[in-house]
Structure 1
């Protein structure tokens, strides 16, 4: 298990996920539903979604090492399962935001003329917008649920200490 200054890496990395994942979810939702804001949001939201997904994977990997170092409990196992789902949610949002930016974004669309035929497909664009909104909302929800199960696992016995 990797440690930094005596603390498990998972404990340090999770703070980035707790902040970045909901921001990426909210940014993705705003990018999908506010066309006028796309010029300002395109790159920051795409980068944020990819970075949040990366931190989610790193945090989950460090969490797996921590899980193996701790004695097994139902709460830790539940938190690990929620973390696995959070990884998927972050990856889906990152993919949806990048695809939506490629279809609708002024900066990325201008640099990918090969996608011109796809950009005129209104059903495809709307489908990716809906996916982005759903993925963003689910990522926010899953971040809260995963954080709650982690806190429950860490603090379940605080009264007996």
Structure 2
């Protein structure tokens, strides 16, 4: 995918990543730390994580196409390097979302949902919660860093701090 309605696909697809990765991270942490949220989210959690995961390589490939169609620039190269690092975070979000969903389904299907059953799984829930929080924070920080570098690459010489006098209120 290179162009969408005449615009570079990367410019449009990046918005999917910027929205879905943090949304997936938030949903994952919430579901991992609060079993009631995991039950309410159900299959939506891994489904959103899967869409997030698929959107990353699509956006990266569109970005590589765009990189070949703009002037060579150190800021663009830095953005590209950072962008290549997001896929492992997206994989981590998806895997953990699937684990949290599966564990939530399994717990709901087990008879005797009393205190004993819940407390027996507490160390596993804590480990999954901590791991989910770490991956979620890593993914969101990476999205921020990539977005910041992309904005710098796109806009570093494209505007005037003083104004051009051609707009409103000049």
Task: Assess same fold via TM > 0.5.
Answer: yes
Could you say which residue in structure 2 is the equivalent of 1:3?
A: 3
In 2, are the aligned partners of 1:52 and 1:90 still within 8 Å (CA)? yes
What's the CA shift for 1:125?
A: 4.2
What's the CA shift for 1:124?
A: 4.4
- DSSP 3-state at the match of 1:135: helix
Partners of 1:74 and 1:108 in 2: CA distance = 51
Could you say which residue in structure 2 is the equivalent of 1:101?
A: 101
Partners of 1:153 and 1:129 in 2: CA distance = 36
In 2, are the aligned partners of 1:56 and 1:87 still within 8 Å (CA)? yes
Partners of 2:123 and 2:74 in 1: CA distance = 44
In 1, are the aligned partners of 2:38 and 2:100 still within 8 Å (CA)? no
Partners of 1:6 and 1:38 in 2: CA distance = 41
What's the CA shift for 1:127?
A: 2.6
Partners of 1:51 and 1:5 in 2: CA distance = 22
What's the CA shift for 1:157?
A: 0.4
Segments of 4+ moved more than 4 angstroms: 107-110, 120-125
1:119-138 equivalence runs, <5 A:
123-138=123-138
Could you say which residue in structure 1 is the equivalent of 2:51?
A: 51
CA RMSD of aligned residues (A): 2.2
Between Structure 1 and Structure 2, which shows a larger proportion of helix residues?
A: 1
Partners of 1:144 and 1:12 in 2: CA distance = 17
- DSSP 3-state at the match of 2:153: helix
In 1, are the aligned partners of 2:53 and 2:94 still within 8 Å (CA)? yes
- Structure 1, unmatched stretches of 5+, are 111-119
Greater Rg by CA: 2
In 1, are the aligned partners of 2:45 and 2:101 still within 8 Å (CA)? no
Could you say which residue in structure 1 is the equivalent of 2:71?
A: 71
Could you say which residue in structure 2 is the equivalent of 1:153?
A: 153
What's the CA shift for 1:48?
A: 0.9
